[in-house]
Each structure stands twice: as structure tokens, then as C-alpha cells.
Amino acid sequence: MDCWEQHIGFKDSYRLMIRWDQMTVNDIKKDFADWLSKEAEKHPELKGKGKRGQVSYAPLKWLAAMRFVKAGFTYRQTQREIDPTGKLVFGNDKNYLPLFLMSSDWNKAIEKGSNLLRDLESGKRIVRFK
């Protein structure tokens, strides 16, 4: 580290000393963020928390949109079929239904679903269940 001296006392405890005369505040922030990222990799108990550790519903939405298209539905027909009252929330990560605010998002989802299906069928991508 450029601006830090690491003194290890107890297990997993640190005292960091900043060399204020050698770096700017932005340099120190960047250096600390880099160090913290590297240090976090040494602690597996921190992994799997937050958004990265959660299951993404996006691929399910892509595949569902693709299936609606294959069944002959348009963007508007699908949106009305899934949510006739218009009360479901858009942008909810846990919402696996193919609801999209704009038709351009719908089209992107269909493309991503097609690519995903192609990769799965070719063996390029593997789905693992825990």
C-alpha cells in the first residue's frame, strides 16, 4: 500500500496509519478502497451477502418474454395479460414476471433470453443447483 502501514495485532484486526504528507485525500480514499477489496477476499464469511449473493431473476424474465413472443404475443398484449390492473411494480428485482416499462426493454430481454437459451443448449453455459 502506498499510503498505509498495516500493523497486525490480534487476528483480523488492523491499525492503519495514514501518511498525510505524501498523498491527497482522494489518493488515500482510493488506496484504502483497493486495500479493503483485497483484504475482503481473504474472508469467505463476507461472500454471498448483498446483491451479489442473491439469485438474479432477470434470466427468468428474459426466458418468459421469449416464450410469450413464441406464443404470438406482442409487448402490449403480454403486459395486459400479466397485469390487467396495472398495479404490479416495475423494476422489482424479485419480480420474475416479464413486465417491462418500455418495449425496448422487452426487446432486449427477448434477445438476452434467446442468447441464454442458445448458450445453455450448446453447453457453453451450465446451470448449477445448490
pLDDT of 16-68, one tens digit each? 777 778 888 888 888 888 888 887 787 776 665 565 556 677 888 888 999 99
pLDDT over 50 at 93, yes or no: no
- Please state the rounded mean pLDDT for residues 89-106: 73
Residue extents of the structural domains in the chain: 4-48, 55-122
- Please state the rounded mean pLDDT for residues 71-78: 91
Residue 74 Cα to chain centre, angstroms = 28
Q: Could you tell me which residue, 60 or 4, shows the higher pLDDT?
A: 60
- Please state the rounded mean pLDDT for residues 109-128: 84
